[in-house]
A and B are shown apart, each in its own frame.
Chain A
Amino acid sequence: MIQAFEWEKPILELEAKITELRQFVDSAEMDFSKEINTLERRVEKLRKEIYEKLTPFQRVMMARHPKRPTTLDYIDLLFDDFVEFHGDRFYRDDGAIVGGIALFEGQPVTVIGPQKGRDTKENIARNFGLPHPEGYRKALRLMKQAEKFGRPIITLIDVVGAYPGIAAEERGQGLVIAECIEEMSFLRTPILAIITGEGGSGGALALGVGDRILMLEHAWYSVISPEMCANILWRDSSRAAEAAELLRLTPTDLLKFGIIDDVITEPLGGAHRDHALTGQQMRAFMRRYLAIINKTPLDQLVEQRLARFRKIGQFAEKQLAEM
């Protein structure tokens, strides 16, 4: 059974009732189809009401659902013949970022993304999906490899942030994020970035400098996590829900701000409810946007990529502001 959120309880209760009634019908050989139909319409309506009015923090929680597809799940769903490549050729292999070559609809692509664990054991091995500098160095190595061989890059981003640890600082966490951002900006190969879950700060941006940037419906992307923001504002991370409202971190907001290009709809109730359907919906978007960037001449592609970020920012010239 999938772990449910508090706000989903009415839906789940109704769903349970329908299942129960069905089982009863099967065993008692009685006709309750009218009743079942009514209940099904009610649950459908309830789903719409609840899921279409999710608060920003409810979306953040959806993005963190333990059964939400992880990067390796998406790779399974969307690509064929994935071969994973390891290591930064320098220090070690960071399990918190996975990457390699796979076929997307027959075309070889480089696919890279932070990887959360799907259970406690894997989470420990993958440091809860929090990358060290060597993870970003591996990502950068694979991106440069992709550039060399003219492969498009697809990044699947789901990371709360780069790991804040002693060793990470010793090995230049800040420096390597800066390098990733800078080098990615000038890579002469198409880059499609998809924020699939959490898009936390510099650790997400380090893989997020794309020609097209897409976001799943229940993903978030922000300069700071709601918890940290609440901690700074009110010294109380339990007020994360309020902070999530202030940060404007939902795909709807980010689309309006021109930060992302499109929002990929998830199955009703979230990606965790139907991995296969999530994959199907993503595939259609990826096909469409890859086709565009695949046929853009490289000079133009890089120019457009730079121009896209160049214009982000809101300010006023002083003279105008004072008038």
Chain B
Amino acid sequence: MLNVFRSKPKYATVKQHERVEKKDFPDNLWTRCDCCGKMIYNKELEKDGFLCVHCGHHFRLCASQRLAKLVEGHDFQPFPPLIAADPLTFPGYPERIKLAQEQTGLDDAIIIGKACVRDSPCVLGIIDFSFIGGSMGSVVGEQLVRGFEYALEHRLPVVIFSGGGGGARMHEGIFSLMQMAKTAQAVGRHSRAGLLYISVLTHPTMGGIYASFASLGDIILAEPGALIGFAGPRIVEETTRQKLPPGFQTAEFALAHGMIDDIVPRNQMVDYVGRLLKWHR
């Protein structure tokens, strides 16, 4: 939805992240890596959490695939589903929602609930890019706030994967903008009660999502190569009329500039997050 997604191929240093779903290669045994072009045996690809075994390229994951990798067969209790309204009566928005629901099987761009990651209970939320760019409207905002409120009440840590965060959802106008304040405040209350919030930035975390709850983690992690920033690269290029430096707004760029704590490859994510949760119990 936001500009950043359109301009993606222009920035060659950012590894291309093509969405991979099982249906893309149901019968094929091999997949070609978008990044290095080498062939990967599908079983191997899936086992590793959709990582290229040759170059480490991270394919895009949908929320349910990511969830499976994190809870490892343990219980996940999602919060009651919410459905988007159309507060501005924005042309085409209800249809867009309906289509996204049909295509993804999700109610909106987030899966969130009570989970166990490596035996540590927590509230786990995952944003899904395939639902209108993973943008935050009233539903994503409210679900996040309910997540933090539940965690506050039960003194649980929160882990949010805000990848696919295309920023605020334009179709809900000012209501989307206000979700930035609402989520930041929910993080603030949880944080002020001395509780842990781990924010994991996956590709891409931009705009209103980056400029609210995603930036407010006690610990901020990112997947390799993820695009992370406030303004989309195309906007930056158009405004400044400057050539963007190599690797601009990648996870590596964010790490070098002191904006995140660490970069964690996907196949180490559950170990890494699991360990952090254990240390804060």
What are the residues of chain B within 8 A of A259 when measuring CB–CB? 174, 178
What are the residues of chain B within 8 A of A171 when measuring CB–CB? 257
B175/A222 in contact, CB under 8 A: no
Q: Which of B85, B177, B245 has the most CB of A within 10 A?
A: B177
B174/A309 in contact, CB under 8 A: no
A222/B184 in contact, CB under 8 A: no
Segment among A9-17, A66-74, A117-125, A313-321 that sits at the interface with chain B: A313-321
A169/B236 in contact, CB under 8 A: yes
Q: What is the CA–CA distance of A284 and B150 in the complex, to the nearest angstrom?
A: 43
> Does chain A have a CB within 8 A of B3?
yes
**The one of B142, B182, B242 that contacts A315, using a Cβ cutoff of 8 Å:** B142
What are the residues of chain B within 8 A of A169 when measuring CB–CB? 229-231, 236, 248-249
> Does chain B have a CB within 8 A of A175?
yes
Segment among B13-21, B206-214, B268-276 that sits at the interface with chain A: B206-214
- B: residues with CB less than 8 A from A are 1-3, 80-88, 90-91, 107, 138-139, 141-142, 145, 168, 170, 172-182, 184-185, 187-189, 192, 206-208, 210-216, 229-232, 235-236, 239-240, 242, 244-245, 248-249, 253, 257-259
> Does chain B have a CB within 8 A of A194?
no
Please give me the residue from chain B that is nearest to A260 by CB atom. Answer: B174
What are the residues of chain B within 8 A of A181 when measuring CB–CB? 180-181, 184, 211-212
Segment among A24-32, A93-101, A105-113, A243-251 that sits at the interface with chain B: A243-251
What are the residues of chain A within 8 A of B3 when measuring CB–CB? 228, 231-232
B107/A318 in contact, CB under 8 A: yes
Q: What is the CA–CA distance of A321 and B81 in the complex, to the nearest angstrom?
A: 10
What are the residues of chain A within 8 A of B175 when measuring CB–CB? 257, 312-314
Please give me the residue from chain A that is nearest to B228 by CB atom. Answer: A174
A321/B83 in contact, CB under 8 A: yes
A315/B138 in contact, CB under 8 A: yes
Q: What is the CA–CA distance of A229 and B231 in the complex, to the nearest angstrom?
A: 14
Given contacts A223-B168, A224-B170, A232-B3, contact A178 B82 (CB under 8 A): no
B181/A174 in contact, CB under 8 A: no
Please give me the residue from chain B that is nearest to A248 by CB atom. Answer: B88
B257/A172 in contact, CB under 8 A: yes
B236/A246 in contact, CB under 8 A: no
Q: What is the CA–CA distance of A166 and B246 in the complex, to the nearest angstrom?
A: 11
Please give me the residue from chain B that is nearest to A233 by CB atom. Answer: B170
**The one of B173, B208, B216, B239 that contacts A202, using a Cβ cutoff of 8 Å:** B208
B236/A166 in contact, CB under 8 A: yes
Q: What is the CA–CA distance of A249 and B91 in the complex, to the nearest angstrom?
A: 16
A297-323 interface mask toward B, CB cutoff 8 Å, 1 = contact, 0 = none?
000000000100110111111100100
List 30 A–B pairs whose Cβ atoms lie within 8 Å, in order of A's numbering.
A162-B231, A164-B235, A165-B236, A169-B230, A174-B211, A175-B211, A177-B212, A178-B180, A178-B212, A179-B215, A201-B168, A205-B177, A205-B180, A223-B168, A223-B172, A223-B174, A223-B176, A223-B177, A224-B170, A246-B91, A247-B173, A248-B88, A248-B174, A249-B173, A306-B185, A309-B181, A313-B141, A314-B87, A315-B85, A316-B85
A222/B174 in contact, CB under 8 A: yes
**The one of B80, B88, B214, B240 that contacts A318, using a Cβ cutoff of 8 Å:** B80
Q: What is the CA–CA distance of A248 and B172 in the complex, to the nearest angstrom?
A: 10
What are the residues of chain B within 8 A of A224 when measuring CB–CB? 168, 170
**The one of A223, A246, A317 that contacts B208, using a Cβ cutoff of 8 Å:** A223
> Does chain B have a CB within 8 A of A185?
yes
> Does chain B have a CB within 8 A of A52?
no
B188/A313 in contact, CB under 8 A: no
> Does chain B have a CB within 8 A of A254?
yes
Given contacts A312-B175, A317-B82, contact A164 B231 (CB under 8 A): yes
Q: What is the CA–CA distance of A228 and B167 in the complex, to the nearest angstrom?
A: 14
**The one of B1, B85, B177, B181 that contacts A314, using a Cβ cutoff of 8 Å:** B85
A170-191 interface mask toward B, CB cutoff 8 Å, 1 = contact, 0 = none?
1111110111011001100000
A202/B83 in contact, CB under 8 A: no
Q: Which of A202, A246, A317 has the most CB of B within 10 A?
A: A202
Q: What is the CA–CA distance of A246 and B232 in the complex, to the nearest angstrom?
A: 22
A313/B179 in contact, CB under 8 A: yes
Given contacts A169-B230, A205-B177, A222-B173, contact A164 B185 (CB under 8 A): no
B244/A246 in contact, CB under 8 A: no
> Does chain B have a CB within 8 A of A221?
yes
> Does chain B have a CB within 8 A of A209?
yes
Please give me the residue from chain B that is nearest to A307 by CB atom. Answer: B185
B182/A223 in contact, CB under 8 A: no
Q: What is the CA–CA distance of A201 and B136 in the complex, to the nearest angstrom?
A: 13
20 more CB-based (< 8 A) A-B contacts, given A181-B211, A205-B180: A162-B230, A164-B231, A165-B236, A168-B230, A173-B211, A173-B231, A175-B211, A177-B211, A179-B216, A202-B212, A209-B181, A229-B170, A247-B174, A248-B88, A248-B173, A257-B174, A315-B142, A316-B83, A317-B81, A321-B83
A164/B138 in contact, CB under 8 A: no
Q: What is the CA–CA distance of A165 and B245 in the complex, to the nearest angstrom?
A: 12
Given contacts A223-B174, A232-B170, contact A316 B181 (CB under 8 A): no
Q: What is the CA–CA distance of A93 and B52 in the complex, to the nearest angstrom?
A: 45
Q: What is the CA–CA distance of A174 and B187 in the complex, to the nearest angstrom?
A: 16
B192/A186 in contact, CB under 8 A: yes
What are the residues of chain B within 8 A of A254 when measuring CB–CB? 174
Give chain B nearest CB distance to A191 CB in angstroms: 12
Q: What is the CA–CA distance of A163 and B240 in the complex, to the nearest angstrom?
A: 10
What are the residues of chain A within 8 A of B88 when measuring CB–CB? 246-248
Q: What is the CA–CA distance of A312 and B174 in the complex, to the nearest angstrom?
A: 10
What are the residues of chain A within 8 A of B235 when measuring CB–CB? 164, 228
